Amino acid sequence: MTNTDFTTTFMVSKKPAEVFNAINNPRAWWSEEILGSTDKVNDIFDYHFEDIHACKLKVLDLVPGKKVVWHILENDFNFTKDKTEWVDTQVVFDINLEGEKTRVTFTHIGLQAHYECYDACYQGWTHYIQNSLKKYITTGEGQPNMTGSPQTETEKRLSGN
């Protein structure tokens, strides 16, 4: 069976502990509108972007310098018929030291290509992982979304900006 979960990978010249700490600060690279704690197992936090997307996540696993796992408890998209496409999926960050560099492998387990949200989610995760998180890890400044400042073309189109 072919794995169709969304996955993307990048390498950085930072230590695994630095990468782990950056991932656990999603306000700096995903959205400034995250409510709740994100750095302890069983923490529950809320993400939203305007009225376009909202979800509730639970921190399932934190292995310092190695792994971060979030479970999506609730989800709502305003642009899909099925508002629950992310429900019971997992967001996994695997962190591996390879020589002098650290590899980050991001997988959204359960985000399938046949989902109505897939194109928007593909574009969103690609931006927030490959651009914003990577930039945050390497420079200390990410590109999270904020009210009135969509970051991806889909966010711009859906928010009317």
Q: What is the pLDDT, as a whole number, of residue 16?
A: 98
Run of H or E residues at 155: helix 153-159
Please state the pTM of the whole predicted model.
0.91
Please tell me the distance from the alpha carbon of residue 114 to that of residue 69, in angstroms, as a whole number: 23
pLDDT for 123-160, tens place per residue?
999 999 999 999 999 999 999 987 556 566 766 666 66
Strand order in the sheet with 6-12: 6-12, 101-109, 90-98, 67-77, 53-63, 44-49
Nearest to 91 by CA among 2, 29, 1, 8: 8
Q: Please measure the distance between the N-terminal and C-terminal CA atoms of the chain and give it in whole angstroms.
A: 40
Q: What is the mean pLDDT of residues 117-125?
A: 94
Q: What percent of the chain has pLDDT over 90?
A: 80
Please tell me the distance from the alpha carbon of residue 21 to that of residue 11, in angstroms, as a whole number: 16
pLDDT for 88-114, tens place per residue?
999 999 999 999 999 999 999 999 999
Question: How would you classify residue 150: left for phi > 0, otherwise alpha for psi between -120 and 50, otherwise beta?
Answer: beta
Mean pLDDT of all residues in the chain?
Answer: 91
Which domains does the chain show, CATH number per domain?
A: 6-159 (3.30.530.20)
CA dihedral 22, 112, 86, 71 (to 10 degrees): -50
